[in-house]
Chains A and B, each alone.
Chain A
């Protein structure tokens, strides 16, 4: 291949690259204590990364919204309520905390789509699973309108491919729409991209999961 010739950036990744990207992602997560871990499926090479967040529900006059999450799962429920209220009191006096929800996110590799897929489950602190309607209501307002144009395509309940339990899933069919521009931009600058970092930075915030900015600069791409 001559210098300057380039294949267009592919929106797909193979499973090996997925695992490598996850490993690099996890290294940074450890560094900043961002709470991600690798779950290996026994007897296989397969696995996924996961993270659990405790997210308070803020309520303003117009709508309810997921507030800033807390990562420390070891706090007792009462302590969490108190701390969250103290924290938010300083930020937005008009917001009340109605509840704290538990969101558990899994990033799996889809062999059929050849891309990562975000699965998550959500429940109240006393273990009641959220309904699909409730989960929809907590989709970030920045995305809610557009996702609602075709809810049957985007946010659905699915059986977790590896655990066999009921999860919610962000359908991957539109992944190319937001990955292609990012990959092309990076390629134009001769930069390589960690697919998981880029991908998660887009899909995570849709459902309450923020990716800290440091991932953008501190996580390298696999060779």
Chain B
């Protein structure tokens, strides 16, 4: 046994050999490392501790720099730890803090080693184990070692004590009950004059206060004192951080603190301290104008400094102050704008945020113009950053700051043309959203959409496809505003659309369908008016037919009237001649014909729909004999009605729909969601019947191919939508607004009796109101469109749209750590919140509650007894009386305590005024006195 061990230790590679070998790389890094690992695995099993520790050192090297797992060695690390030699311990501790984590199995075995070293006389060993504990502490370790830490907190070796202080933070975190034991000593250390100790304690409190500032409010006087007295910048920075957390909770503290902070700001030469002062002022003391002015002055110095760090921090400070003091930003406008072209992307982004903070209703146009110009020149990343912030700022709160939507829509169009633009999706959403919400903007929207669609170059940019799909949708949906639908049609069917992904291509085809129906409808209306005298028979039959179907849905009379209005509006700009219609139909056939073989079902299906429609109308309408031969007149009427029908279906107005709308639709009786869709047909038949009735009843010629075709299609639509409500919801979520028409009518048709079928209630002019009413009745109890005078109405759905705005109020989280701290400092958890908010008169009751709670909490007392050699009963008596003092306004006094009241009160006051005499006693006092939060101002003011 001894032989190999000796050989091992004599010829073992040292760490240096390992590193040298790695650097020479004779056999490649990976190969070398795996060879070394093999050696290590062997060596680490050696009984000789030196060999073992060297192996461990090498292993931790490989683990920390080459990230090789060293979990297998965790037990060996413990073995090395038990070595009496300091150098071994050091290696072992290093390895352990590098590799151990909460679920390391041998963690249980380390407790005794740590305890032994924590009580060692060698301060470096103590320090090593503290260091290690700070890294690997878990609940058990923290609990078991709390007594040792407690002892070390008042060690007379400063070196040990400051480390113990730092470690306390981790122990508290893992095992909040240790607060009851250690907190008092920690607070005592706050009184220490040694800067190292003070720095450590303040660091701990800084971390603690970040998590739950309210619990540490009673310590404010101490922090204030440090702020005034300390000369150490490290300490001051931490104290400022603590005070910045506390000040917003206690206005009197803020008032008190603002002067010293300003003093530091004026005097200090250290930039880090200066910046901390500035940050404290802008985050927590922003009500104090003079302080803010001073801070902003310092920020300006930062901004014009050569050092990019200071510039960056200055911009950051400005963006903190911006929401409350916008003047600070506008005063530095030039610097901010200039920073937009800084070399550093971080600075650019900060200044962009600031610029966006300055945006208001009045300047949004100019600022956007400037920014878009910047975006044109900027690198792709920053360009998109700019676009993103414009988009999000402008759409904030439902386009709150936009007055001129025409401008905004054209800006969106312009933005999508910027070469680096990758925000297609967001632009798409906004274009559609605005189209739905703002009726007045639709003509402009169609114009912008047309410009986008008509440019064949844009089709080549995949980032723009989403924008184009929005443009296609808008131009189809609002085609009645188009100046030249034929041109739109050409744009929608241009050959380069083959570059589009199928899903967007399907939207193109659907829009083309809408445009086609619109054109045909216009053409028919035209022909009707010109040929009405020539063929008097044609018209009446057409009218009677449409009336016959209108009679089933009372409202479509308006619909027809409205269509006529639209027709007369557009006929001036786009008059349809026979020739143009023939061309149009031919174009559709040529463009969509090849798509019948498309692999994408959506594209293929829609193309087939359109072509079927074209076939039918072409046969019926444009056959010259059909127009003359009265025998075939029926067919013309047939086609006419189909077109009318489709037109009505498409001119149904869309509005925004609440995200939760689907959930509010009650599940229809008898609706069963089954996997076998064949079964569904029967179930859906019931629901579907009313809606399909409203279409088919209008046609006396149901058996005709054309009508049954269109009927079928509609039926399909409905079937699809009725198949499963949940499926539809998901589907709509994915495809957003394109599915609104069917979705909308489906939702309501599920809800409404057939007589009120909403597909026929649609009316282009009143529809948003109708929709509002409908949704109001069926979905939302309260819904008011926002009627702001100067700007167009933006339709809002109260529930959904406000949801993102109404922020969840952060709940006061009350984790066990802060609970324990409060228990110690205040005797109760609910004392502080009330006391800091309400004034004196509000306090007594909560004070009493707190006290009572502690009275009934023997656990606390027993814990304190464990560690406190003082007289616990007297302390508690004191405590009672202090609580009492606060309660002097309460009608429910307890006589037993009253007798001590006066003397105790004076004692307490004096101890607070001249607290310096005996630090020990003072700390004692603090614990007990601290429940009286109102005492703080006594001391402070």
- Whether chain B is bound by chain A comes out as no
User: Footprint of B on A, CB under 8 Å?
Assistant: none
